[in-house]
Chains A and B, each alone.
Chain A
Amino acid sequence: MQRRQFIKLATGSVAAGLIPASALSARYSPGLRFLRPPGALDEDDFHARCIRCGKCGEICPNRCIKYFHTENGLASMDTPYIIPREQGCILCMKCGDVCPTGAIQKIDRELEAIVENVKMGTARVDRGLCLSWQGKTCGVCYRACPMPDIAIRVGRLEQPHVLKDCVGCGLCERSCIQIPQAIRIIPSNAG
């Protein structure tokens, strides 16, 4: 059966081409820096809970939630992520409301609840890149922060200091006028 063999070979090679070998491993972590939506469980629980329904992205008013293809491994396919430099999270907490499985926990849209429960990451300032730390008064990150003086405060020349209550929404990284950005979120899911 020559034709059948050909079909087998063809489908096999197509499948092998579609799936990069490295992406086959479920726990493959290529070191992408991304955030999960606010209130998301840690990575393993998140993979088990998320049914990839796409409602979190569909309700996000800021369009910051996007979806993985295969770049973060097959287990992450179609799961939501946020790249803060592209679009930060405005902490509206709608994604937790709409998530049916609790992969993104429901959190009240109140300051205390957000500071307590949201742990997307923490901002870190690169003082070598930051304009204010280089003596040119800037302060954009402080003004972009939804929780000024709680998550970030500024000192002399508007030099930013990140405080421990920063939840990692990424609005500072989004707004930083330096290229590359001088403030960036260190995701809490990085392990």
Chain B
Amino acid sequence: MVDNKPQYLLRHLNKLRWFSLLTVFLMLILLPFLHLYQTYEAAHAYDLLAPQEKLISDTMQALTEPFVNDPAEDLDQVKGNTWSGTLFGLKLSDPLAVVGQMAAGLTLYWPFILTALIPILLTLVLGRFYCGWICPATLLYELNDNLGAWLKKAGLPITRRRLDKRLKYLVLAVGLVLSALAGSVLFATLYPPAIVGREIYYAVALGGFGGGAVFFMLTMLFDLMVARRGFCRYICPGGALYSMLGRFRLFRIRRVVENCNDCAKCNVVCQFGLDPLHDDFGQECNNCSACIAVCPTDALKFTVKTVDVTFQGPGHLGQQYRKHQSAREPEAA
């Protein structure tokens, strides 16, 4: 028998998730500054720096002094972005980068494939968690979605069309074929988290945003004007790959039908347009736990199971269930 007691602490998981997203995003901003600091150190040219460069150098020195002896060398241990990065000497890559590169080169380069091993294993267990917990674009998209809610309150027409979720799998497949034909990793220039990481670096260290920033703004407009979180839901090839990998994830959210009162707040808050109210999470759920945080009766919780439960009927605290029960047992009611 499954334990139906509500997991109260899980209500705060969403806050932890925002903390995680913010940490990743702030790291992406910090790393280019650290790189600048390293170059100043390597050049031994503190006295020749411009005032604002001195400010960068001083700030970064204050931040890193307790942790490093030789900034020019030691700070090399943390480099890159979520597309492909080095974290304390451990190389990690996005599985999409590996798949895209395999298609573009039509070869298997094992040192690179192994860098995606840890993310893939985590995805197999936790599902599409990357999209909810790490992706730097998610932070901006979620803020964008909140902005959309405000704009809607202000009376602007925010369109929320529903497209076919399977579109993103098509984008993934077509992208792989085109990568193979062009001999170039096409996802790299069109994948929002890769764009965000790169553009922050361009803006800080190379003096300005590149074309990717324009494309990213267009995807934000798409989310506002066409479909809610439309890029992640319907187009993102990385989301497609993570969804497929996370199809039989171990950790998934489940509705406890005894506690549910059919209020449908979970369906409203779910930015991926899933249907927790009818036990329909599916492979697209990114375990973001927003529905758990919003549920007034603590009817949603994590379980360890490889498949979703089938629809359990209306929630036992809801009117529909009560009517149904009283119709079945008139004497008891």
B216 at the interface (CB under 8 A from A): no
Interface pairs A-B: 8 shortest CB-CB: A53-B84, A61-B42, A48-B105, A52-B188, A55-B80, A48-B104, A75-B184, A47-B184
Question: Given A51-B101, A51-B185, does the pair A18, B211 have CB atoms closer than 8 Å?
Answer: yes
A102 to B91, CA, bound (A): 13
A60 proximity list for chain B (CB < 8 A):
39
- Interface segment, A93-101, A160-168, A182-190? A93-101
B210 at the interface (CB under 8 A from A): yes
Selected contact of B72 from candidates A18, A61, A67, A77, CB within 8 Å:
A61
Question: Per-residue CB proximity of A20-46 to B under 8 Å, as 1/0?
Answer: 000000100000000000000000110
A53 contacts B189, C-beta separation under 8 Å = no
Question: Given A58-B201, A63-B39, does the pair A101, B80 have CB atoms closer than 8 Å?
Answer: no
A189 to chain B, nearest CB (A): 15
B182 proximity list for chain A (CB < 8 A):
26, 75
B206 proximity list for chain A (CB < 8 A):
57, 66-67
A134 at the interface (CB under 8 A from B): no
A181 at the interface (CB under 8 A from B): no
- Interface segment, B108-116, B244-252, B282-290? B108-116
B314 at the interface (CB under 8 A from A): no
B234 to chain A, nearest CB (A): 16
Q: List 26 A-B contacts (CB under 8 A).
A: A26-B183, A47-B184, A48-B105, A49-B109, A51-B83, A52-B189, A53-B81, A53-B93, A54-B81, A55-B85, A57-B201, A58-B31, A58-B79, A58-B80, A58-B201, A59-B35, A61-B72, A63-B205, A67-B210, A75-B183, A77-B189, A78-B198, A98-B79, A100-B84, A100-B112, A102-B112
B79 to chain A, nearest CB (A): 5
A123 to chain B, nearest CB (A): 23
A98 contacts B109, C-beta separation under 8 Å = no
B210 proximity list for chain A (CB < 8 A):
67, 69, 78
A residues apposed to B, CB below 8 Å: 18, 26, 44-45, 47-55, 57-63, 66-67, 69-70, 74-75, 77-78, 94, 98, 100-102
B189 proximity list for chain A (CB < 8 A):
52, 74, 77-78
B211 contacts A48, C-beta separation under 8 Å = no
A146 to B211, CA, bound (A): 36
A51 contacts B188, C-beta separation under 8 Å = yes
Extra A-B contacts (7), CB below 8 Å, given A55-B79, A75-B184, A98-B86: A26-B184, A47-B184, A52-B188, A58-B31, A61-B42, A101-B112, A102-B111
Selected contact of B97 from candidates A53, A59, A67, A98, CB within 8 Å:
A53
Residue with the greatest number of chain A CB neighbours at <10 A, chosen from B72, B185, B210: B185
A97 to B84, CA, bound (A): 14
B237 at the interface (CB under 8 A from A): no
B194 at the interface (CB under 8 A from A): yes
Within 8 A of A (CB), among B78-130: 79-81, 83-86, 91, 93, 97, 100-101, 104-106, 109, 111-112, 115
Selected contact of A47 from candidates B112, B115, B183, B212, CB within 8 Å:
B183
A49 to B111, CA, bound (A): 12
B188 contacts A61, C-beta separation under 8 Å = no
A102 to B105, CA, bound (A): 12
Residue with the greatest number of chain A CB neighbours at <10 A, chosen from B91, B100, B198: B198
B211 contacts A52, C-beta separation under 8 Å = no
Question: Per-residue CB proximity of B58-89 to A under 8 Å, as 1/0?
Answer: 00000000000000100010011101111000
A67 proximity list for chain B (CB < 8 A):
198, 202, 206, 210
B194 contacts A52, C-beta separation under 8 Å = yes
A55 to B81, CA, bound (A): 8
